[in-house]
Structure 1
């Protein structure tokens, strides 16, 4: 969903006083350890702004990177998707919370899909993201007092989430559907418009433009807590597209949220 390195110069070798061979061995071991430490440090920079993510996700899936188990490597993309859809059953896209074990299972399957991403440079083929998408899972949650204030516990039902992407205009429109009980079950929607521009081979910058709620009766219900509603669904920031194929997409934003969508 959317909403918008320097080292000091090395001294010349001392040819008159050669370095003892034992010292050379120690230096080589030290350099190897330093290189290993550097690689591990860089590998953990998952949430930083982010062109390096494509490289991380394309690393060997046989290693336990991002929770990927050895036996998972043998699964095809279709098998992973089937397992993921099974895991998503009955959790209402994760909006009202997910048990920790279930959340971990979903995270593992998403990481496995990302490790087999057929489009490691998605913004270079931005047309793949054009069209309408439907949210099937997100780590954004509406819990506790926020759910009560918005009436989502007893009075208002949360419907489908759609995202329409126009790659020519660089626009994304998020539509969140609602229905209200007690008012003849009338339906309405929150519509959030944003623009986006390519920031890297896998990342887009998103800027919020405007939002509307229709019909007027629904706006009256949300008016008091409209800022709260926007704070949940506002897409402003950057989005890293970690997986995309013809009908499935995964994105991770700068706030640590995950979005999984299927083509509508």
Structure 2
């Protein structure tokens, strides 16, 4: 599809948005809007087979995520959003790199509730922050299995009061390997299925 190729070209070289200039940001938003007009899935929230799985972030305007790269001696690694439709769970995982042996991880576990054919309400429940070695982090899949098994992790592992920490996300485009979302804080997210 031409629109997808144009979007991929627009985000190329922006390092998930960290290096995007204002002109690039505007071009990317235009490419997103163009692709959203041709969403092959009119009610994305109901397309559990497409939604379910592990997604890797390709581009975002989220300051909360991009600011992780501004921590001293740290560089943002891969960012994943893993969705488990059956349990209405979502796991956001950001890998942090820097000094040798001090690779970190910032993760948030949440529940989502469909409120329309394209919008989900998200309630954050748990945050886990720590060194990958101490947490014994190998991959998003094994990490999520440990969370779901109830494991408490070394590092900072705490419950979040979900009545205060919540938001919504509109899924504005989804197909077999690409998802676009727009969040309540005005951020956009482009993810590819892993």
**Candidates 102, 108, 121, aligned match of 1:205:** 121
Residue 156 of structure 1 pairs with residue 78 of structure 2: no
Change (3 A) 1:208 1:142: closer
Shift of 1:97: 5.6
How far apart, in 1, do the equivalents of 2:31 and 2:123 lie? Answer: 30
* Higher-helix-fraction structure: 1
Higher RCO structure (Cα 8 Å, ≥6 apart): 1
With the length of structure 2 as denominator, give the TM-score of the two structures.
Answer: 0.77
> Which structure is larger by alpha-carbon Rg, 1 or 2?
1
1:105 partner SS: helix
* Higher-strand-fraction structure: 2
Structure 2: tracts of 5 or more residues without a match: 136-154
Structure 1: tracts of 5 or more residues without a match: 1-77, 224-229
Is the contact made by 2:13 and 2:19 (CA closer than 8 Å) also made in structure 1?
no
Cα RMSD of the aligned pairs, angstroms, is 2.9
2:112 partner SS: strand
1:237 partner SS: strand
**Candidates 107, 112, 125, aligned match of 2:29:** 107
With the length of structure 1 as denominator, give the TM-score of the two structures.
Answer: 0.58
1:116 partner SS: coil
Change (3 A) 1:216 1:122: closer
Residue 254 of structure 1 pairs with residue 172 of structure 2: no
Change (3 A) 1:252 1:218: farther
Shift of 1:142: 6.1
Is the contact made by 1:137 and 1:260 (CA closer than 8 Å) also made in structure 2?
yes
Q: How does 1:95-134 map to 2 (within 5 A)?
A: 96=18, 98-134=20-56
How far apart, in 2, do the equivalents of 1:125 and 1:160 lie? Answer: 25
Change (3 A) 1:202 1:235: farther
Which residue is 1:174 aligned to?
A: 92
Which residue is 1:92 aligned to?
A: 15
